[in-house]
Chain A
Amino acid sequence: MRQNLRIALTKGRLQDKSVELFEAIGLDCSPIRSPGRRLIHALPNYPLEAVLAKAPDVITYVEHGVCDLGIVGKDTILEQGKSFYEVLDLGFGRCRFALAVREGSDFYGTYRTRRVASKYPNVTKQFFARKGMDVDIIKIEGSVELAPILDLADGIVDIVETGATLRENGLVPIEDVAQVSARLIVNTASMKLHKAQIEDLIGRCEAELKRRREET
């Protein structure tokens, strides 16, 4: 049986922000900052160990209970579905899902079935299902902006931060699909079996988030 809580952090940009948050609530994150060859990083001053993973794997680890907690973007949660508790919006990693089309084109102004390219087919499907609209969805792995340019699709659903990449490629966002930010997620059984420990961590994060909100 594990003594420490285990958290899965999304590698990359969210990782840095997560570490900043943890350091702000008094956790010594030096093992994560200088990982060496280790894959599991035990924190020296708090009963928590961290693993670093790609976003979809964070969800997999938490769902299976091999990690008790995780920090992952709402974009991945929306795409993968979920059976875990999504307890906190951590406020960083903010961006949005948007529907973008070629400048000057009229996406809705036709009865022809529209074709939409996306790295996030489930998000796209749910968005148009809510509108009661049938669309053909094409899954693209790389630069989705290319699809409308090559005339493969009428529009794209993708993560938009500043919109600069879209503009450069002659695309304009016409509608927001969902707001995205990093979330703290918890395995359902862990939440019940390690309530005090998990509540302590959540409480500290909440206090810090509140402080940040009041600062701005």
Chain B
Amino acid sequence: MAYTIHTPEGTRDRLFAECRDRRDTQTALTDLFRRRSYSEVSTPEVEFYDLFLRSGNPIPQEAMLKIIDRSGKIMVMRPDCTAPIARVAATKLKHLPLPQRLYYAETVFRSGDQHRGGSSEIAQCGVELIGAAGRKADLEMIAMAVDALRACGLARFHIELGHAGFFCSLAERMELEEDQVEELRTLIEGKNFAALGDFLAPYQGQSATAALGKLSRLFGGAEVLEEAEALAGENEALSYLRELYEALCGAGYGKYLRFDLGLVHQIDYYTGVVFRGYVEGAGDAVLSGGRYDRLVGDFGRPAPATGFAVDVDAVAACRPGTELPRVGTLVHFAAGELDRALTAVDGRAAGTCELSPCETLEETLALARSKGALHVLVLDADGERMVEV
């Protein structure tokens, strides 16, 4: 294999429309973030491995791309933006008043399985609201998640809400060992309907069994909350979700919202509301986030926090496609006419007109034919004329 002409597994060259779509999507997102007074931060692409081992951080060791530096320390290509930003917030920003509103547009690196078609380089655009707890901060973040996908021009999408506390409060009511709780969580996360029923069969009659048994099916519209209340009784997490939902409906966000009370991934990391965005056309969630009140404290400055990240390329692939502009005109200009030639190019729509580097008109016409251009604009001492190709 010629290592000089292939790109490594999981990476790719991105050309033209792909670059433009990625950039346009990023711009749509960052324009929104800036409008809401979030400020951009950029952290190193290479960080110490240890940084990502904190606070139940959910990235498995084998998914991180590692580098050993000259002194033998283990570094990784940044697999996630939240941990570095939490570090920044706890250290560099420690004298600034909270809350801090931060956003980023970066590439994160995760090595996937071979030949599964996944990318190791993932363009992420996201926000973190650090130092704000409670209802208003959660409302701001969920509304922003909806607006982010709207700003990207998507119509058929929804944001799905869950709450880490719901599962935990139910699991606490059961008499289960720690590893049994983990098994239960995995079954609910995988929506393993049948196996969940089998797992819970010996616990029939305990107060939370009915609700846990239905947990993987508790997703959909607001009716899910009622169903969950009927099964689990009075519950803090459920009333909180209902409160958020009503406030968001009042602001016109209701039609974009769904619930999944079986959203129980990374429960050591998330501490409150969690959410994910799904779009028609993407096979996985394109937006993911939630409240993580412990992470910033791990770096020495306790602060509640919430945020989300958007998978930029996945969103870009779901947007309605537009054609790239085509070059229709070449400018053939005589020596000394550079300023007029540039004015002609700048005056036309981007990407539709370019300078000809050729010395003779014949060469320029040949070039125009090979590019499929329709006209050559000739600029010389006699003035300007348009030649059809």
Task: Check: A40 CB closer than 8 A to any chain B CB.
Answer: no
Q: How far is the CA of A195 from the CA of B160 in the complex (A)?
A: 13
Q: Tell whether, in the assembled complex, residue A188 and residue B113 are in contact, meaning their CB atoms are under 8 Å apart.
A: no
Residue contact B260 to A192, C-beta cutoff 8 Å: yes
Known contacts A64-B117, A195-B219, A195-B220; is A189 also within 8 Å of B282 by CB?
Answer: yes
Task: Give CA–CA (A157, B267) in the complex, Å.
Answer: 34
In the bound complex, CA of A64 to CA of B112 (Å): 14
**Minimal beta-carbon separation of B116 from chain A (angstroms):** 7
Interface segment, one of A86-94, A106-114, A159-167: A86-94
CA of A214 to CA of B160 in the docked complex: distance in angstroms?
A: 37
Residue in contact with A188 in the complex, picked from B194, B280, B285, CB distance below 8 Å:
B285
Residue of B nearest to A87 (CB): B193
Q: Which residues of B contact A121 (CB under 8 A)?
A: none
Q: Which residue of B lies closest to A186 (CB)?
A: B191
Q: Are B192 and A189 closer than 8 Å at their CB atoms?
A: no
Q: How large is the interface on A (under 10, 10 to 19, 20 to 34, 35 or more residues)?
A: 20 to 34
Q: CA A98 – CA B195 in complex, angstroms? A: 21
On chain B, the number of residues with a Cβ less than 8 Å from chain A's Cβ atoms is 24
Task: Kindly provide the distance from the CB of B293 to the nearest chain A CB, expressed in whole angstroms.
Answer: 26
**Does B194 contact A88, Cβ atoms closer than 8 Å?**
yes
Say if the beta carbon of A197 comes within 8 Å of chain B. no
What is the CB-to-nearest-CB distance from B264 to chain A, in angstroms, rounded to a whole number? Answer: 13
Nearest CB in chain A to that of B196: its residue? A87
A residues 51-110 touching B (CB-CB < 8 Å): 60, 63-66, 81-83, 85-89
Query: Would you give the shortest CB distance from A8 to chain B, in whole angstroms?
Result: 13
Which B residues lie within 8 Å of A81 (CB)? 113
List CB contacts (< 8 Å) of B163-208 with chain A.
190-195
- Bound form: Cα–Cα A189–B284 in Å: 5
B283, A64: Cβ atoms closer than 8 Å = yes
Asked if B281 contacts A202 (CB within 8 A), the reply is: no
B160: nearest residue on chain A (CB-CB)? A192
Q: Does A150 contact B (CB under 8 A)?
A: no
**A154–chain B nearest beta-carbon distance, Å:** 27
**B residues in contact with A65, CB < 8 Å:** 282-284
Provide the residues of chain A in CB contact with B158, threshold 8 Å: 192
Q: With A192-B219, A193-B280, A195-B219 as known contacts, state yes or no: A89 contacts B194, CB within 8 Å.
A: yes
Interface centre among B194, B278, B279 (most CB of A within 10 A): B194
Contact pick for A192, options B192, B195, B278, B281, CB 8 Å: B278
Q: Does A10 sit within 8 A of B, measured CB to CB? A: no
Question: Which residues from A are CB-within-8-Å of B279?
Answer: 189
Distance from B157 Cβ to chain A, minimum over Cβ atoms (Å):
9
- Please list the residues of chain B having a beta carbon within 8 angstroms of any beta carbon in chain A: 113, 116-117, 156, 158, 160, 190-195, 219-220, 258, 260, 278-285
Taking Cβ atoms with an 8 Å cutoff, the residues of A that contact B are: 1, 60, 63-66, 81-83, 85-89, 186-193, 195, 202, 206
| Pairs across A and B, CB under 8 Å, 17 listed | A60-B117, A64-B117, A85-B190, A85-B191, A86-B190, A86-B192, A87-B191, A87-B192, A88-B193, A89-B195, A187-B283, A189-B283, A190-B283, A191-B191, A192-B219, A192-B258, A202-B193
Closest 5 CB pairs of A and B: A65-B283, A85-B191, A89-B194, A192-B278, A87-B193
